[in-house]
Amino acid sequence: MTGDPERRPAPTPFGAYLHIPFCASRCDYCAFATWTDRASLIEPYLRALRTEIERAVEATLPAVTSVFVGGGTPSLVPADGLVAALAALPLATGAEVTVECNPDDVTAELLAAYRAGGVNRISLGVQSMVPHVLELLGRRHDPANVQRAVELVRAAGFDTFNLDLIYGTVGESDADWATTVGAALALEPPHVSAYGLTVEAGTPLSLTPERYPDDDDQAEKYELADTRLAGAGLANYEISNWALPGHECRHNLLYWSQGDYLGFGCAAHSHRSGRRWWNVRTPDRYIDLVAAGEPTEAAGEDLDDTTRRAEGLQLSLRTRDGVPVRALDVEALPGLVEERDGRAVLTRSGRLVANEIAVRLRDDG
C-alpha cells in the first residue's frame, strides 16, 4: 500500500470523573463528600463504581479522552479495585488518566499498579511544605514524603504530575509560603496548582472566624507564587494553575471549556449537552442504588442558551485565552484586562479580582 496512512479525526473531548469518598482523616477546610469512618464500604463501593461505569458503557458512552480520580483520597483504596473500575472505561488513544494521591500513601508498588492499569498522571496533595502550616490545615502528611513521592513517581515512568498547594492559612507567614513554593520548585514539577484557602460552610474552619484568610495576604502570596513559578518556566494557563508547555491538565481544560463529562461514584457531577446532574451524596446510598439497578442521580438541571453562554464566558475569563474582546470594556479596566489578538485577557492583577470582573461580562449573543 502506498500513500499516507489512514488519518482518523481526533475524538471529541469527553471526560470521566471517578469519586473516591474515603479519607484517613478530614482536613479542617474540606467540604467535599468524604468520610473517615466507612472503610468497611471500600470494597463494595469500588465494585459499585465499576458496575455504574459498565452500565454507562452499555448506554453508548463515548470514547473518554481524560479521566480524573479524585476524592477523598484515591490512594487510600486498594489499587487493584480502582484499576478494575478504570478498566471498564472506553479510553481514547492517548487519554489522560489522573489519580490524586496523598504523599504518605505513595509506594513503588502502588504506582506500578497504576501504571499497569493505564494511569499516566499523578496529582500529589502537598498543600504546604511547612509542618506547622500543615497542622493548621488539619493535614497529617509528612513534608519529607513529598520528595520521596516525587522520586517514586519519576522512577515509575510517569512523564507528568502535579503538585497541589494551598496558601493563605492564618499563621502561615510570607516566609512559610516562600519556603513551600521554593521546595516545590526544587522538585522540578511540570505542573503546579495553587489555591487560596477558602471557607466552606459546615467545615471546622467555618466555625472559627479567627482563622478566616485575609484577602490582602492571599493576594501577596498569589503574586509571589506567580512570579516564582513563571520564573521556573511554568506558565499560568488558568488562574490557579501553572504548567510547562504541553503539561496542562486536559481534564481541567475540558471543564473550563464547558465540555461534556460523566461523573461516577457518590456525589459525582456530570454535564452533557447543557444538562448537568449529580449523584446521591453518601456511599451507603450509592452502593444500595447500584445493587438494586436503580439510577444514582440525586438531582439535575437543564441550562438554557443564555445561561450556558454566560457561564462559558465566566469560565473562559479564568484562562489565558480570555474572552472575545467585545465581551468586556477593556478600556474601563486598565491594568486588569488587556487585549491580545482580539481577546480580552486578565492581567495578573486582574486574576486577583476575577470574580468582580466577571460581573461586567456582556453577552451579545
pLDDT 10s digits, 60-82: 899 999 999 999 999 999 999 99
Give 11's pLDDT tier (boundaries 50, 70, 90).
confident
Instruction: Examine the domain organization and report whether 151 and 231 are in the same domain.
Output: yes
Which residue shows C-alpha cell 495578573?
348
Burial (CB < 10 A; 0-12, 13-18, 19+), residue 168, is buried
**Looking at the domain assignment, is residue 350 inside a domain?**
yes
* Percentage above 70 pLDDT, the chain: 97
Structural domain that includes position 36: 14-255
Instruction: Examine the domain organization and report whether 22 and 119 are in the same domain.
Output: yes
Where among 255, 275, 298 does a domain terminate?
255
pLDDT of amino acid 31: 83
Q: How many domains does the chain have?
A: 2
d(Cα 283, Cα 268) in Å, to the nearest integer?
Answer: 11
Instruction: Examine the domain organization and report whether 248 and 311 are in the same domain.
Output: no
Let me know: does 103 contact 151? Beta carbons within 8 Å.
no
Coil/strand/helix, residue 19: strand
Instruction: Examine the domain organization and report whether 115 and 245 are in the same domain.
Output: yes
Where among 192, 225, 255 does a domain terminate?
255
Where among 255, 270, 286 does a domain terminate?
255
**Looking at the domain assignment, is residue 29 inside a domain?**
yes
d(Cα 231, Cα 75) in Å, to the nearest integer?
Answer: 32
Instruction: Examine the domain organization and report whether 83 and 188 are in the same domain.
Output: yes
**Looking at the domain assignment, is residue 48 inside a domain?**
yes
Instruction: Examine the domain organization and report whether 24 and 106 are in the same domain.
Output: yes
Looking at the predicted structure, is the pLDDT value of residue 126 above 90?
yes
Give 1's pLDDT tier (boundaries 50, 70, 90).
very low
pLDDT of amino acid 4: 45
pLDDT of amino acid 60: 85
Say if strands 275-279 and 269-272 run parallel, antiparallel, or are unpaired.
antiparallel
* Percentage above 90 pLDDT, the chain: 88
Instruction: Examine the domain organization and report whether 251 and 311 are in the same domain.
Output: no
**Looking at the domain assignment, is residue 58 inside a domain?**
yes
- What is the 3-state composition of the chain as percent helix, strand, coil, each rounded to the nearest 5? 40, 25, 35
Q: Which three cell numbers stand for residue 228?
A: 516564582
Residues 328-361 have pLDDT tens digits of: 999 999 999 999 999 999 999 999 999 999 999 9
Residues 212-253 have pLDDT tens digits of: 999 999 999 999 999 999 999 999 999 999 999 999 999 999
pLDDT of amino acid 183: 98
pLDDT of amino acid 55: 96
- Residue 14: phi and psi, rounded to 5, are -150, 130
What mean pLDDT is predicted for residues 150-169?
Answer: 97
What mean pLDDT is predicted for residues 319-332?
Answer: 96
DSSP secondary structure letters along 75-133: GGS-HHHHHHHHHTS-EEEEEEEEEEE-GGG--HHHHHHHHHTT--EEEEEEE-SSHHH
What mean pLDDT is predicted for residues 31-56?
Answer: 95
Residue of 164 and 2 predicted with greater confidence = 164
Instruction: Examine the domain organization and report whether 249 and 332 are in the same domain.
Output: no
| Mean model confidence pLDDT for the chain | 94
Let me know: does 343 contact 325? Beta carbons within 8 Å.
yes
**Looking at the domain assignment, is residue 198 inside a domain?**
yes
What's the half-sphere exposure (Cβ side, CA atoms, 13 Å) at 49? 31
Give 285's pLDDT tier (boundaries 50, 70, 90).
very high
**Looking at the domain assignment, is residue 291 inside a domain?**
no
Cβ-based neighbour number of residue 297 at 10 Å: 12
pLDDT of amino acid 87: 97
Give 5's pLDDT tier (boundaries 50, 70, 90).
very low
Instruction: Examine the domain organization and report whether 34 and 114 are in the same domain.
Output: yes
**Looking at the domain assignment, is residue 3 inside a domain?**
no
Q: Which three cell numbers stand for residue 73?
A: 483520597
Give 364's pLDDT tier (boundaries 50, 70, 90).
low
CATH of the domain at 113: 3.20.20.70
**Looking at the domain assignment, is residue 297 inside a domain?**
no
Instruction: Examine the domain organization and report whether 152 and 84 are in the same domain.
Output: yes
pLDDT of amino acid 212: 93
What mean pLDDT is predicted for residues 118-146?
Answer: 93
What pTM, to 2 d.p., does this model score?
Answer: 0.94
pLDDT of amino acid 2: 39
pLDDT of amino acid 3: 42
Instruction: Examine the domain organization and report whether 249 and 321 are in the same domain.
Output: no
Instruction: Examine the domain organization and report whether 250 and 315 are in the same domain.
Output: no
Looking at the predicted structure, is the pLDDT value of residue 10 above 80?
no
